[in-house]
Amino acid sequence: MTGSVAVIGSVNQDVVCEVPRLPGPGETVLATGARTNAGGKGANQAVAAAKAGGRVEFVGRVGGDSAAVDLRDSMAAAGVKTTGLREVTGARTGRAYVTVASGENQIVVDPGANFAWESGAELSAMAEAELLAAADIVVAQLEIPVAVVDWAAGVARRFVLNAAPAAELGDELLRRCDPLVVNEYELATISGAPTGTRAQAGQAARSLCLRGAPSVVVTLGADGSILARRTADAVELTYQPAPQVVSVDSTGAGDAYVGALCTALADGVELGEAVAFATAAASLSVRSPGTHDSYPTREQVVAARTAVPRARRLDFDE
Ligand code: RIB
C-alpha cells in the first residue's frame, strides 16, 4: 500500500456492559459481563485503516489522564501515527457507555476533550494543517465540533465524512464529501426522507447527490450497503450485498468499514471496489467482541473479499 489516510476525530475509552437484551426507557437490566476498551469513532477508523494496510495519521484531542495514555498506545500498536493527538489541559478524555446484547448495541458518549478544539484559524497555523493537506484521504466523523469538520474538509485533497452521530449538514460541507458515509438512521436525519427499505434508502441517497454530494455510501449492517454516485447527467445507484456471518458484537463495525474504505481509496482503488473491500472488513469485525482487537489485517480482508457477493444495480422494487 502506498496511500496515506489522515483521520481527524474522537478518541474514547469505552465502558462496555454485556446484557441479555437492550433496556427500554425506564428499565434496569443486569449485566452479565463488563470491560473497558479503546474506542471513539475517529480512533477506531484510524486503527481499522492502518490494519487494512494504510499509512495513517491521527488528529484528535485527549485529556491528561491515564485513559489517554492507554488510547494512544492502542493506536500506536496498530501502526497509527499520533503526533496530531494533543492533550488538552484541564480536560478529561472522552468516554462512551456501550451496552451490547445479541450482537446489537446502544452507545452514549460523554465527549470531554473531543469537544475542546482550537478555532479553524488557529488550526491552520498548526502542524495539523500540514498533516491533513499531505494525506491522500482525510476522514472525519461528527463526535468532534462541526466547525472543526468544516475546517478539515477545506484543507483536504479528498474528503470522506462519516456523519455519525447524525446531524444536519450544510450544502457546502455536503459538496466536499466523496463519499458521505451514513447508516439508514443518519441518512434519514440528513435527507429528511424515509429510509426503511433499500429502495427508500437509495432514493434518499440520490437526493443528497442532487443536493451536491459527489457520492454517498449507505451502510445497512448485515444487509450490505448502497452506493450512490453522481455522473454527468444522473445519479447511479448500486447495491453491494454483504456476506452472511454470525455477529457477536457489532460495536465499531461501521468504523471498520469506513477505515478500510479510506485505505482502499487512498491506494487509488475505484469507489465501487473500495465498498466491496470495506464490506469484507466489516463482516470480519463483527465476529469478535470489541473494536480495535476485532479489526482485520490487510491479508484477512483480502482473503474475505472473495466471499463478498457481486454488486448490482439497485432495483427500486427491493
Ligand atoms: O462506533 C463505535 C464507537 O462509537 C465506540 O467505540 C464509542 O466510543 C463511540 O464513539
- Domain spans in the chain, listed from the N-terminal domain onward: 4-11+39-93+114-313
The pLDDT mean for the chain works out to: 95
User: Distance (Å, rounded) from C-alpha 168 to C-alpha 190?
Assistant: 5
What residue owns the CA closest to ligand 1's atom 6?
39
Name the helix (H) or strand (E) containing 41.
helix 41-51
Report the pLDDT value the prediction gives residue 82, as an integer from 0 to 100: 97
Residue pLDDT, tens place only, 40-98: 999 999 999 999 999 999 999 999 999 999 999 999 999 999 999 999 999 999 999 99
171 is catalytic: no
Ligand 1 centroid – CA 237 distance (Å): 29
> Of residues 70, 150, 178, 255, which has the active-site annotation?
255
Average pLDDT over residues 181-207: 97
The DSSP 8-state label assigned to residue 103 in this structure reads B
Ligand 1: centre distance to CA 44 (Å): 7
Written as nine digits, the cell of 271 is 469507489
Domain 4-11+39-93+114-313 has CATH 3.40.1190.20: yes
- Integer Cα distance of 304 and 300 in angstroms: 6
pLDDT band at 142 (very low <50, low <70, confident <90, very high): very high
Query: Is the per-residue pLDDT at 103 higher than 90?
Result: no
Measuring CA to CA, which residue among 4, 11, 9, 27 is closest to residue 106? 27
- Provide the pLDDT confidence category of residue 143 given band limits of 50, 70 and 90: very high
Atom 7, ligand 1: residue with shortest CA distance = 40
Q: Is 219 annotated as a binding residue?
A: yes
Q: And the C-alpha cell for 109?
A: 458518549
Residues with CB under 6 A from ligand 1: 10, 12, 14, 39-41, 44, 96, 107, 109, 143, 251-252, 254-255, 291
pLDDT band, residue 318 (cuts 50/70/90) = low
